[in-house]
Structure 1
């Protein structure tokens, strides 16, 4: 797959998770887990491929999705 395809898949996945994942603890811990796994993957598997998938690029995208979920974790909390 090309880099553009990876980016589009990650963007769609982030959009779906951001819209439909509502519970605060789940958003927080999924965001932390994706960010940590993605960051560790950036260090460990920079040039690895598995079944034609570029694991280095997937780890970069997982880091971005995780940080995005963590930063917007209070999106659905009620004010007041």
Structure 2
């Protein structure tokens, strides 16, 4: 889970992509208070889930449950 806006102009999307390239795919989601189309498009293009701040606990639990279920299915299939 990464915030979209990180230090020095970096983004959570770019960090997730660097980590994916180095360590393979892992469940990840992006959090942000920035509701601009550019942010939504960047997250969507990276095929990552997006949650808007402030994060509602039930919404966070739902996304985490889906990510973990997808990962478990992928591991079972391999």
Q: Where on the TM-score scale, by shorter chain, does this alignment land: which range?
A: 0.3 to 0.5
TM-score by length of 1: 0.35
Report the structure, 1 or 2, having the larger strand content.
2
Larger helix fraction of residues: 1
**Taking CA–CA contacts closer than 8 Å with sequence separation of 6 or more, which of the two structures ends up with the larger relative contact order?**
1
Rg comparison, structure with higher value? 1
